[in-house]
Amino acid sequence: MDRRYFFKASLAGGAALATGAASCPAQARGNKDLPPEALGLLFDSTLCVGCKACVAACKEANDMPPEFSTQEQYWDTPLDLSGKTLNVIKAYRHGSVEQKDRAENGYAFIKKSCMHCVDPSCVSACPVSAMQKDPKTGVVTYDKEACIGCRYCVAACPFGVPRFTYDKALPQISKCQLCVHRHKDGKYAACAEVCPTGATLYGTVADIQKEIARRKTLEPGKQAMFPRGKLGGPDQSYPNVVGTYLDHTYGEKEFGGTQMLMLTGVPFEKLGYPDLPPRSDAALSETLQHTLYGGLIAPIAVLGALTFIAKRNVKPEDEEGEPHGK
Amino acid sequence: MANNHAHARTHAPAPLGGSLLTPFTLLLGVLSAIAGFILVYRFFYGLGAVTNLNDGYPWGIWIAYDVVVGSAFACGGYVMALLVYIFNKGQYHPLVRPALLASLFGYTLAGVSVIFDLGRWWNFWHIFWPGYAQVNSVMFEVAVCISAYIVVMWIEFSPAFLEKLGMKDVKRKLNKLLFFFIALGVLLPSMHQSSLGSLLVIFGQQIHPLWQSGALLPLIYLMTAILLGFAVVILEATLSSTGFGRPLETKVLTPLSKIMLGLLAAYLALRILDLLWRGALGTAFAFTLEAGMFWIEMAAFVVPLALLAPASARRSASKLFAAAVMLLAGGMLLRINGFLVGYQTGDGWHYFPSFAELMVTVGIIAFEILAYIVIVRKFPVLPAAQPATR
């Protein structure tokens, strides 16, 4: 009887623990915070002239093969990100294509490369830590030596950034890593380094946010100075005409924020960027996992209860296959 | 573990015997071999050489069917263990061992077929390795939990092999600990079958609202996995009765189907309330592929509910079988719809499995059935048709 009572008590305790774990709000996590020295890019669509120097420089800096979309395979002509292309400039065209940075009868250029999310889905999805977010700079990196090639990151990313080399027997994921491999030589993201108009700028997210605030105060149509290359680096600024910006800075709030921020004159949905909620999907996914499995409390409690019940119901018999009449 | 239950005296499992080489097993063998050749080709020339996978649909039927549906179809062992050893329903005991065998193959093949789909398969052990393992990942939980369950099932099933191999000592010792493995064998599928649904959470709005149930996904996937467990037990019991010319087990299946019916009603209530709560039901009335697939899926759950509602229908072997088949289709559609039909990462992406991709899936199913036939003919799995006597 004593033993029975003990088991009953532990069962009740286990159930209580399980309920506790399942309803513990302390386990919930919100979006992650921007790392202290977050690095990123500013893409200003109104400055981009569509020369694609950044696409070529990216290929060279990352040793990526050319990709052809035309009959004559003379030069690299990627149409989208792929296993061979980490950065691409796409064109928006509408109607008579008369005026730049206008949605109606206009055109615009837009950059596609990793957004370096503050709370990236790919990092949360990756089962083997191949996708990592640098705790200091926030750069989202990929380690092919760790990767198992499950492509959960490819499926999870709302921007369609990580890509996979399906044509290879020994495949890997391809994504922009903000040229971290060039940092040790004092270099930075090749796309920003070569951009002739400063449409793509490299810098800390803090500096980028200041630059965005400055641009929004400028008067459209007037002349102003625009930095090129790296914010906080050597002065390469030049005068240009101020574009007409939408209020919306893409990446400021989307999905818990991104470290690539974008200014345009054309709404982002038209440029192929999804309208995303302010909460990251990683936050909900991890809250759910931590609620169910945090500290393995709930599974162990349930296992305890199941073991107790199974022990009572499963009776080891002397011999199998020789049934006794009872 | 078959006989260690108090109620299980009369139907001791015994090998069926009989010939292994029939036209049917030959066909299964050929289909398995074709899949084998395609897979060899895949490992030399990459996933793109045999599949229609692309960056808009990085997961195809090898994940959505072979793993997500395949493992759910293999829940018979889990559900029977839950019923017999946790809810102490001894009358279902004769169903445990055959159900467990089917689960063993279903899960082992689901686990193995993951390797076919992994691009960098030689690194797969990283999932279990501290330093690589990333515990916030739903995929990590699914992978570890499924692997653990496969091991647990082999242990649970080993009495059948030990019996054959005459290792009575080992068997006796194992029998004393079996209750713990049975408990694990109930816990682990509860965890990963729900997590298979949680995999979709991080896809966010890339999943159509009809299937993006957010925090309810684990419950929806768990409930349907249990439903599929019931359905697959009815299917297997009926097929192996007719296929091996044995008496039908309708007497056991009738009360089983009543439990299944209750769970089915609860699932449908949850599914519809969730859609209403999220305001997603409106999208089901649009003229889209997604809406069409949704109604087929719902019909496959609702029709069995109506079919088995009268008590007399639950005593009919053919109605039980029909309901089970429809439920299997419904559970499969829920998963295929969630992972493929309802997945959209941007404009311009299309996916339909290639012929080679389909043949691999067909081959895996064929191999599973073939192995089941071989094992039940050679090992004591199915309850003996006549009660054994001393």
pLDDT of B264 above 80: yes
Q: Tell me the two tokens of residue B177.
A: 């600990």
- The residues in B 322-381 lying below 8 A from A, measured between CB atoms, are 343, 345-347, 380
Nearest CA distance, A111 vs chain B (angstrom)? 16
In the block, tokens 């309330």 appear at B273
pLDDT for A194:
97
Q: Do A127 and B127 make contact, defined as CB atoms within 8 angstroms?
A: yes
Q: Do A293 and B9 make contact, defined as CB atoms within 8 angstroms?
A: no
Q: What angle do CA A98, A102, A105 make, to 5 degrees?
A: 40
pLDDT for B389:
39
Q: ipTM greater than 0.95, yes or no?
A: no
pLDDT, mean of residues B20-43: 95
pLDDT for B96:
87
Find residue A141's DSSP bridge partners: A132
B361 pLDDT tier (thresholds 50, 70, 90): very high
Ordered by where they begin, the domains of chain A are: 39-278 (3.30.70.20)
Crossing angle, helix B217-243 and helix B250-277, to 10 degrees?
A: 160
**Which residues in chain B touch residue A282, judged by CB atoms under 8 angstroms apart?**
136, 202
Is B106:B146 a contact under the CB 8 Å cutoff?
A: no
- The residues in A 244-303 lying below 8 A from B, measured between CB atoms, are 272, 274, 276-277, 281-282, 284-286, 288-290, 292-293, 299, 302-303
Identify which of A151, A277, A288 has the shortest CB distance to residue B198: A288
pLDDT for A317:
54
Smallest CA-to-CA distance from B243 within B388, B74, B53, B98 is with B98
Preferred mutation among A150, A164, A173, A303 to probe B, highest tally of B CBs within 10 A: A150
CA dihedral B325, B145, B60, A80 (to 10 degrees): 150
Q: Average pLDDT over chain B, rounded to whole?
A: 91
Smallest CA-to-CA distance from A212 within A160, A248, A266 is with A248
Q: Do B127 and A128 make contact, defined as CB atoms within 8 angstroms?
A: yes
Strand pairing report for A200-204 and A173-174:
unpaired
Which residue of chain B has the CA closest to A317? B4
Structure letter (DSSP) for residue A85: B
Identify which of A281, A306, A321 has the shortest CB distance to residue B12: A321
pLDDT for B217:
97
Smallest CA-to-CA distance from A281 within A113, A69, A29, A40 is with A29
pLDDT of B292 above 50: yes
In the block, tokens 């020994």 appear at A170
Amino acid residing at B335: R
pLDDT, mean of residues B198-212: 97
Q: Tell me the two tokens of residue B48.
A: 């793109």
The answer, for A91 touching chain B at a CB cutoff of 8 Å, is: no
pLDDT for B233:
93
The answer, for B274 touching chain A at a CB cutoff of 8 Å, is: no
**Which residues in chain B touch residue A88, judged by CB atoms under 8 angstroms apart?**
none
pLDDT digits (tens, 9 = 90+) for B364-375: 999 999 998 998
Smallest CA-to-CA distance from B255 within B87, B381, B98, B72 is with B87
Q: Tell me the two tokens of residue B388.
A: 């054994």
pLDDT for A316:
59
The answer, for B214 touching chain A at a CB cutoff of 8 Å, is: yes
pLDDT for A318:
40
pLDDT, mean of residues B41-59: 96
Handedness of CA A319, A322, A326, B4 (dihedral sign): positive
Amino acid residing at B14: A
Nearest CA distance, A227 vs chain B (angstrom)? 33
CATH number for the domain whose boundaries are B53-351: 1.20.1630.10
User: How much is the pTM?
Assistant: 0.90
Share of chain B above pLDDT 90, in %: 73
3-class secondary-structure state, position B228: helix
Identify which of A171, A284, A317 has the shortest CB distance to residue B214: A284
**Which residues in chain A touch residue B84, judged by CB atoms under 8 angstroms apart?**
313
Q: Do A126 and B86 make contact, defined as CB atoms within 8 angstroms?
A: no
Rounded CA-CA distance B20/B168 in Å is 27
Rounded CA-CA distance B342/B334 in Å is 10
pLDDT for A60:
96
pLDDT, mean of residues B78-89: 91
Strand pairing report for A39-44 and A200-204:
antiparallel
pLDDT for A324:
35
Which residue of chain B has the CA closest to A159? B345
pLDDT digits (tens, 9 = 90+) for A15-70: 544 444 444 444 678 899 999 899 999 999 999 999 999 999 999 999 999 999 88
B12 pLDDT tier (thresholds 50, 70, 90): confident
pLDDT digits (tens, 9 = 90+) for B207-229: 999 999 999 999 999 999 999 99
The answer, for B19 touching chain A at a CB cutoff of 8 Å, is: no
pLDDT of B385 above 80: no
Candidate from A295-299, B183-187, B276-280 with smallest mean pLDDT: A295-299
CA distances in angstroms from A214 to A47, A209, A233, listed in the order given: 15, 9, 18
Candidate from A55-59, A193-197, B146-150, B247-251 with smallest mean pLDDT: B247-251
B329 pLDDT tier (thresholds 50, 70, 90): very high
Identify which of A148, A282, A324 has the shortest CB distance to residue B202: A282
CA distances in angstroms from A180 to A61, A141, A258, B19, B355, listed in the order given: 11, 8, 17, 64, 42
The answer, for B18 touching chain A at a CB cutoff of 8 Å, is: no
pLDDT for A18:
46
Is B343:B203 a contact under the CB 8 Å cutoff?
A: yes
Region label for A251, one of left (φ > 0), alpha (ψ between -120 and 50) or beta (otherwise): left
Query: Pick the residue with more confidence: B126 or B158?
Result: B126
Rounded CA-CA distance B303/B174 in Å is 44
In the block, tokens 């019996």 appear at B163
The answer, for B74 touching chain A at a CB cutoff of 8 Å, is: no
Which residues of chain A have a pLDDT value below 50? 1-14, 16-26, 318-326
